[in-house]
Structure 1
Amino acid sequence: MRSIIPTILFTVPLSLALKTSTVQAREDNTKAAFFTTRVKPILDANCARCHGGTNHRGGLNMDTRESLLKGGRDGASVAPGDPTSSLLIKLIRHEGPKDDPKNMPPKGEKLSDADIKIVEDWVKAGAAMPVAPVK
């Protein structure tokens, strides 16, 4: 009769390693570093021209967490922990009519599904951002 101990000794550490890496990946989006490395490049490429620095089209500045929570003329942009209630997510998904000027970005292509998922994951995890704006 073969011993199952070698199988257990291999399987248990492997399953624990997989669980740990999944948890670590999930935890990363709760840290401000996730915003800096993953979310900010998306916002810089697609949103900052109109909603960053001295530009506050629609009354929205996306440079700080406080300004995102305050939002612009249409209210708060982000509902931390709730992407389905976040105006930012609705607009980058282009959930309005096809040529709705509120779809973001308003001209050009919708963000990729991968980029939308990154922003959704960030909002779902609480929308953590550095205290000071990242340049």
Structure 2
Amino acid sequence: KITTYRKLAEAALEKIDGALDRMTNEWTCRIPLPGGDFPVRDVAKQRATLQAKLPFLDAKVVHRLFRQYGTQAESIFESATSLDHCGANLGHGVTGREVDWAIENEWVCTADDFLWRRSKLGLHFSPDEVANLEDYIAGKLAA
């Protein structure tokens, strides 16, 4: 999705440049996406480093976090030293800390936003878990 947005933004800027009679060079293909600031050949090493820093999280959860957030996953859990420091268990390895970070940094506003547009976990959550997540997010946004 982000690559598509980059292409759309570049196309829009090209039209604006034409109207303003100026030329901007494409640059987004050379800039890593957020969390993707490492060589592709280092994926396994980066994931292992994250697992070592978060030994209290299940390996499958760490794998998902790394695939979703890349190097930003470390900042989500930077001061956590145990699962107790991760906030509410919202199901399927999702913690309050992760959702809090997504609210603050990815502008998550609803459970659907988190489950379908951000994490792609929507198929895994039961209706009760979705309702619980919705209540959690609403409570955070109301605070």
TM-score in terms of structure 1 length: 0.29
Higher relative contact order (CA closer than 8 Å, sequence separation 6+)? 1
Structure with the larger helix share: 2
TM-score in terms of structure 2 length: 0.28
